[in-house]
């Protein structure tokens, strides 16, 4: 087989794979509407049941501090160097900047941004690797909370593995979280 024919075969294989993945995603996105109102109602009732207590009001762990006998700081130990702060300690313009950078349609969706998810999928399939994410801020909160509250290596792996099942669980939990809590816009001038 000539080099040109091999290149053409690889290109056609990539195109076919892209079409199959896009079709599967479209089918998955349309399933709740196509599945009928009974299936949607039954699944919607279980969304809030699936919301773990850990996703509610838990502050992430800060740094561990090693103190001398006199109480003076010797060192900080940390995996993630963070200092938890209250919302009023963050400038409103910083809050808005973070929202705009991470999830520009944050105030327009219910925890799942279908447009962003499809955009990321198309970009990643075309590149052949993960180039960008399509998770909303709420999905990111769910993932980080599940990771931070994981008690076993299996739970940590389940919170980070790259598969459709994890993304669907995160989306379901994000929508349930959005049903439970309200959002308020932060005005940069206030």
Q: For residue range 73-108, list pLDDT tens digits in order.
A: 898 887 677 777 888 999 999 999 989 988 989 988
Q: In the chain, where are the structural domains located?
A: 36-180
> 160 near 140, Cβ under 8 Å?
no
Give the pLDDT of residue 89. Answer: 94
Tell me the pLDDT of the chain averaged across its residues. Answer: 79
pLDDT 10s digits, 44-76: 444 444 555 556 555 666 677 788 999 898 988
Domain 36-180 has CATH 1.10.3810: yes
Over 70: is that where the pLDDT of 186 sits?
A: no
């Amino acid at each position: 087989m000539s080099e040109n024919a091999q290149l053409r075969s690889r290109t056609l294989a990539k195109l076919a794979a892209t079409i199959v993945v896009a079709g599967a995603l479209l089918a998955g996105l349309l399933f709740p509407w196509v599945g009928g109102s009974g299936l949607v109602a039954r699944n919607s009732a279980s969304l809030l049941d699936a919301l773990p207590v850990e996703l509610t009001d838990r502050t992430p762990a800060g740094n561990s501090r090693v103190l001398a006998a006199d109480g003076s700081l010797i060192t900080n130990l940390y995996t993630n160097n963070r200092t938890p702060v209250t919302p009023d300690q963050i400038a409103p313009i910083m809050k808005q900047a973070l929202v705009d950078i991470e999830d520009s349609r944050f105030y327009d969706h219910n925890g799942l941004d279908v447009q962003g998810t499809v955009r990321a999928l198309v970009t990643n399939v075309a590149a052949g690797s993960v180039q960008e994410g399509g998770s909303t801020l709420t999905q990111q909160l769910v993932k980080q909370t599940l990771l931070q509250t994981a008690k076993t290596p299996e739970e940590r792996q389940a919170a980070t593995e790259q598969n459709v099942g994890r993304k669907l669980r995160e989306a379901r939990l994000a929508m349930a979280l959005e049903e439970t809590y309200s959002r308020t816009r932060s005005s940069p001038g206030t």
